[in-house]
Structure 1
């Protein structure tokens, strides 16, 4: 798949929005490597949770422009705006400000993408940042001024990931698939076992070592009864 252009986003934008990095490109590479499966799946609704600059969902929207509705969600209004601007220059999609998939009809997502906040931090640090994000300063949401919520993952770097996985049965369509980015410290084998217990099938579809991190892409589907 073609990586979308981001020249329209400035350094000022990236003070508020997560910039495309090695983890973003690994997720793009995994999607490109699995295009034969995705073409067979013929997704009608594609959703990226936490879209940041919008490069991943925009690349997907370009690929499935004539067959799928592509949506993105993010708690950060700056990220929603950046995603829409990236799409304007490359494809057609919509971006919604909401938590995870709260605004999406249940069991409707055929293709779900999630590059979560995965860095291991103390729960105290994460809670402190979440409280800050809920505050306002002169009417401006703090999420517009901080990037911490895009990477701080709490204990095992999985606080947000575990919430999403607990909702997965209500998000994915009967034939839906999730591509989830994880860090080695997130204990992907433990996550796979938990997903199996919840009647999902999960495999390490792609992995990559980058400076200071070892990343995985988990591919998650429903188990065949």
Structure 2
């Protein structure tokens, strides 16, 4: 069993501004661990986490793939989250590289179809559209959960970027809840981008029914 990254350097004050790892984080860790042998055999050179928050997920991924991944990229719209992710990488001896930005906007040209592993635990909670806009503009903790109509507003914006970034042999891991309409996500990704998918893990956490989807090119 791969240990959860050490987050002892983060304080209660950090979690007032940055999403604290919870069940949606841990199901993503479990999905990555479940695929550990495959991820290692891929010999990935670039990984990218969108919305890295505390840095827990990318640090965990780094503990799986080790030095085989040349570049561990993380983005987050929240500058406090970028600082927390950077310090978590340092705490766990994983060289995370942080970009304070929305999704992967400044990376698209340089990383065109070259990212081996993409992970995204998006803001998936259904909210009103204005709440999403406000959360993204604030660049604070609300941006980690406010998802707009069906909880898909931010995720839908990222899907075209996945097609732009994902390497031919790459893998994209996405956390979703039942309200996001998972069959529709899978259908659209197949029809629009020829990305086939599988629900690799499911878990109930309180009122949420969490799933991790894994996408790859058909």
Interval containing the TM-score (normalised by the shorter chain):
over 0.9
Q: For residue 52 of structure 1, what is the aligned residue in structure 2?
A: 53
Give the one of 114, 121, 125 matched to 1:115: 121
Q: For residue 103 of structure 2, what is the aligned residue in structure 1?
A: 100
Q: For residue 81 of structure 2, what is the aligned residue in structure 1?
A: 79
Give the one of 179, 184, 200 matched to 1:185: 179
Does 1:43 pair with 2:44? yes
> CA contact under 8 A between 1:16 and 1:147: conserved in structure 2?
yes
Does 1:213 pair with 2:214? no
Deviation larger for 159-168 or 44-53: 159-168
Q: For residue 3 of structure 2, what is the aligned residue in structure 1?
A: 2
Q: Deviations over 1:132-187 (max 9, x none)?
A: x2xxxxxxxx42xx311110000000001111112221010111110000011000
> CA contact under 8 A between 2:40 and 2:64: conserved in structure 1?
no
Could you state the TM-score of these two structures normalised by the residue count of structure 2? 0.93
Which runs of 5 or more structure 2 residues have no equivalent in the other structure? none
CA distance in 1, matches of 2:103, 2:30: 23
Shift of 1:40: 2.1
Which runs of 5 or more structure 1 residues have no equivalent in the other structure? 134-141
Deviating 4+ runs (over 4 angstroms) = none
Q: For residue 139 of structure 1, what is the aligned residue in structure 2?
A: none
- Which is higher, the Rg of structure 1 or of structure 2? 1
**SS of the residue 1:218 aligns to:** strand
Q: For residue 126 of structure 1, what is the aligned residue in structure 2?
A: 132
Q: For residue 137 of structure 1, what is the aligned residue in structure 2?
A: none
Shift of 1:4: 0.7
Q: For residue 19 of structure 1, what is the aligned residue in structure 2?
A: 20
Could you state the TM-score of these two structures normalised by the residue count of structure 1? 0.90
